[in-house]
Amino acid sequence: MDKEKVVEAIQSLRKEGTKRNFSQSIDLIVNFRDLDLKKPEHQLDFFATLPHSTGKKAKIGVFAGPELEPEAKKVADTVVTAEEFSRYQKDKKLTKRLAVEHKFFIAQATVMPDVAKTFGRVLGPRGKMPNPKAGCVVPPKAQLQPLYNRLQLTTKVQFKNAPIIQLAVGSEAMKDEDIADNVVSIYNQLVSHLPSQQNNIKSAYLKLTMSSPVRIN
């Protein structure tokens, strides 16, 4: 994908979009072709790392045993200690609120079986269980700040049922160059995970929260 073409699409989006009283997010929409989604190898499910933040802070929750709790309380937005699991098990609304408010969850490896038992039914279908592929299952004495920082630049890429994906790549408040960097980076990562790579891409668009899509030529 040509970065200059992406910048042109961003400029068109800004020009054509109606100014709102909030900073709209900018999404990348990619349509795919020649994929058989019944085949697991044709489905996408991976974590992409972007060069720049999308402009929206990702809230991170940590499920911690006593060993990780002090570090977690210094770094995470929310800490759920092992002692608190029973409260969440009894109150599904509390668990659902936790799921909605956080983008990622980190878990101390030794409490992971209890995390699965307590939170799995709510977090699992939302794709928010602590995932080893994203480095989110950690040792009891892990240093969390580097992981927290990396997760701010991480997005989950997933489709299984329809050959289209829509991902946040930035916000109106960001520089065009930084948004374009994110678009090119995530597009290239997408292509590398496809069986026929570039040939599986049908079209790509950018869209503001409240605008019509603009095609990237």
CA dist 78 and 95 (Å) reads 13
- The domain ranges of the chain are 3-55+154-215, 60-151
For strands 214-215 and 25-32, give the pairing. Answer: unpaired
CA dist 156 and 169 (Å) reads 12
pLDDT greater than 90 at residue 104:
yes
Which amino acid does the sequence have at 58? Answer: A
Residues 141-157: pLDDT tens digits?
A: 999 999 999 999 999 99
Q: Look over the chain and give the mean of its residue pLDDT values, rounded to a whole number.
A: 94
Contact by Cβ (8 Å): 215, 9: yes
pLDDT band at 22 (very low <50, low <70, confident <90, very high): confident
Q: pLDDT at position 33, please?
A: 95
Find the mean pLDDT for residues 186-193.
96
Q: pLDDT at position 131, please?
A: 96
What separation, in Å, do the N-terminal and C-terminal C-alpha atoms of the chain show? 9
What fold characterizes domain 3-55+154-215? Ribulose 1,5 Bisphosphate Carboxylase/Oxygenase (3.30.190)
CA dist 115 and 126 (Å) reads 15
Residues 45-89: pLDDT tens digits?
A: 999 999 999 989 999 999 999 999 999 999 999 999 999 999 999
For strands 25-32 and 201-208, give the pairing. Answer: antiparallel
- Tell me how crowded residue 163 is: count the other CB atoms within 10 A of its CB: 17
Q: What is the 3-state secondary structure (H, E, C) of the chain?
A: CCHHHHHHHHHHHHHHCCCCCCCCEEEEEEEECCCCCCCHHHCEEEEEECCCCCCCCCCEEEEECCCCHHHHHHHCCEEEEHHHHHHHHHCHHHHHHHHHHCCEEEEEHHHHHHHHHHHHHHHCCCCCCCCHHHCCEECCCCCCHHHHHHHCCEEEEEECCCCEEEEEEEECCCCHHHHHHHHHHHHHHHHHCCCCHHHHEEEEEEEECCCCCEECC
CATH architecture of 60-151: 3-Layer(aba) Sandwich (3.40)
pLDDT greater than 90 at residue 177:
yes
CA dist 176 and 117 (Å) reads 44
Say which residue, 37 or 77, is predicted with more confidence: 77
Q: pLDDT at position 217, please?
A: 78
CA dist 112 and 85 (Å) reads 12
Say which residue, 98 or 161, is predicted with more confidence: 98
pLDDT greater than 80 at residue 19:
no
Dihedral of CA 190/172/61/121: which sign? Answer: negative
Predicted TM-score (pTM) above 0.75: yes
Q: pLDDT at position 18, please?
A: 74
- Report angle CA 99, 134, 169 to the nearest 5 degrees: 75
pLDDT band at 172 (very low <50, low <70, confident <90, very high): very high
